[in-house]
Amino acid sequence: MSRWRDTTCGTLRADDVGRRLTVAGWADTRRDHGGLVFVDLRDHTGKLQLVVNPERAPEAAAAAHHVRNEFVLQAEGEVVRRAPEAVNPNLPTGEVELRVETLRIVSRSEPLPFQLDEEGVDETLRLRYRWLDMRTERMQRNLRLNHTAIAALRRVMDERGFVDVWTPSMTRGTPEGARDFLVPVRLQPGRFFALAQSPQLFKQLCMIGGLDRYYQIATCWRDEDLRADRQFEFRQLDLEMAFVERDDVLDVLEACVAATFEAAGREPPARPFPRLSYAEAMLRYGSDKPDLRFGLEIEDATEVTRGSEFGVFAGAPVVRYLVAPRAFSRTELARLEEIAKEWGAKGLAYLVGDDSGEVRSPIAKFLSERELEALRPEPGTTLLFAAGDEETVARVLGGLRTHLGRELGLVEAGADVFHWVLDFPLFEHSEEYGGWTFMHHPFTAPAAGEEERIATDPPHAIGQHYDLIWNGWELGSGSIRIHSAEVQQAVFRTMGMGEEEQRSKFGFLLEALSMGAPPHGGFALGFDRFIALLAGEPDIRQVIAFPKVSSGSDPLTGAPTPYPDEALRELGIRLAGPEPAKG
């Protein structure tokens, strides 16, 4: 292989006995038995036991006495079979060892801030010394899974005629639903590029430019609060297709998922993936990304409670409930009420079915016989109610459903349930600005026959938007795009954007749409989130080589850092001082 090694540590087997080889790697552990010295040598393929006998190799033995964890070593010797009692069945190389003749310390290590096999190491410390953390089996596996998945995705793209096109990172800010990262321009003081939140408009222009099939593994930037599934910079499988309908795009994404599972050595999910409309998902599960590994569907009690003597039900536009498979105690119900309040409920009404068949609830006395007959819980169950407007009820019961699925062990272990959510509203009300804003982005096409509603009935206009969900996590979104300048301008007008603002922000897009734009659609798959789920990790930081922490800082490099005044002046930037105290 090279002058440093003939093979790797984790590849040697019983068939290699008798070979003289050179290996190199890190000292994982060293055991000095008074005479013989044993060193477990580790590289990216695994571990190999080195045995150093001072009678056979006195110089190698002298060097071995100085070896400490994470020293880089080079060893030369003969592969020999271990004694039967020394075989390690837990190691792929456990039948053999290298009888060392020459041992060289290539590089020494200072005492480590943590041991690689240490449990519960603070994550900030791991990220501060990420080069050490990357040597662990966990990080080696995760980063190599990244590569395996990307290679599989590229094969699918190549087989289906997609063209890998690189698009700019520095562009003009567009409404994507998050803050932009801004890049000052020294040659044009006071003007800024925005780091692309996605290649959305560029990939549409590729379709208008006749490329027919576009993709890239795109790096995107969004200035959002960091959390388990969010970083400032992230990757997505970005693709776009011309002359397609929704099902064509969904088929490509399902093929990508299946190919990635197969490449990772896992059984791919059955295709085609199940489909839910947005309205159905919200009604049955209270979420536009429901976890379908368990049931616990929302049930409706609106009609049966019309005219109820329980005023909370009687005056509510919507009354719905969950049937939890447990008779909760008062303490448990108090905790569930707190969770419901976190999701916007004012309280949590309930009916508990005791094992004796009795109904336990402070609201039971207000319910008629008809209501109790319709809503009587089975023994050992609890009905949890939410009453109010449609949106609040869905949010509260959806949040409770997710909590109960986890807490009651309802989620099917080891299951992988993918599904699509389709037919989203085109618009939603903007609480921040008033009026209407986009549900997905402003370039999503209305469903067939919905065009007139853009102007006349925005809240009920349905768009050709689709989301891919895996076990309750949104993997990505896509849509069939608007390919008519007139329809695009109608969407902008509904969002309160006048003619001048449209031309200022999107003049290039409107021009392109006016010069022969084909029907087109696409998708953006959140790659880091996908890999985290594929690896069974709790957050995307564990599958990214050099992530940021929740404060937005990089413990490894210390970024972000202040910049000298002269550098800022050259960019035409002056930092504002602290605001003076009032009063």
DSSP structure string for 380-396: TEEEEEEEESHHHHHHH
Q: Is residue 1's pLDDT more than 80?
A: no
| Phi, psi (deg, nearest 5) at residue 569 | -60, -40
Does domain 140-275+419-543 sit in CATH 3.30.930.10?
Answer: yes
Q: Is residue 189's pLDDT more than 60?
A: yes
Residue with tokens 């301008």: 489
pLDDT tens sequence across 88-127: 999 999 999 999 999 999 999 999 999 999 999 999 999 9
DSSP 201-261: HHHHHHHHTT--EEEEEEEEE-B---BTTB-SEEEEEEEEEES--HHHHHHHHHHHHHHHH
Dihedral (CA of 436, 442, 444, 445) sign: positive
Fold match between 9-107 and 294-411? Answer: no
Measure CA of the first residue to CA of the last residue in the chain; give whole Å: 74
161-188 residues labelled b (16+ CB within 10 A) or e (exposed): ebeebebebebebbbbeeebbeeeeeee
Which residues fall within 8 angstroms of residue 362, CB to CB, at 6 or more apart? none
What local confidence, expressed as pLDDT, does residue 214 receive? 98
Query: Structural domain boundaries of the chain?
Result: 9-107, 140-275+419-543, 294-411
467 vs 476: CA distance, rounded Å: 6
For residue 177, name the pLDDT band (cuts at 50, 70, 90): low
Q: Contact, 454 vs 462, CB < 8 A?
A: no
**Which neighbouring-strand residues pair with 467?**
421, 477
428 by DSSP, 3-state: which? strand
Q: Contact, 426 vs 486, CB < 8 A?
A: no
What local confidence, expressed as pLDDT, does residue 579 receive? 63
What local confidence, expressed as pLDDT, does residue 174 receive? 73
What local confidence, expressed as pLDDT, does residue 295 receive? 95
| C-alpha dihedral (246, 248, 253, 255), degrees to nearest 10 | 150
Region 378-390: what's the mean pLDDT?
96
What's the CATH code, domain 294-411?
A: 3.30.1360.30
Region 243-261: what's the mean pLDDT?
98
**Percentage with pLDDT > 70 across the chain:** 98
For residue 421, name the pLDDT band (cuts at 50, 70, 90): very high
* Other Cβ atoms closer than 10 A to 191: 11
Q: Give the domain 9-107 fold.
A: OB fold (Dihydrolipoamide Acetyltransferase, E2P) (2.40.50)
Region 400-406: what's the mean pLDDT?
97
* Residue 111 Cα to chain centre, angstroms: 35
| Phi, psi (deg, nearest 5) at residue 285 | -125, -10
Region 368-386: what's the mean pLDDT?
95
Region 280-306: what's the mean pLDDT?
97
Q: Average model confidence (pLDDT) for the chain?
A: 95
Region 135-143: what's the mean pLDDT?
97
Q: Is residue 388's pLDDT more than 90?
A: yes
Q: What is the pTM of this model?
A: 0.92
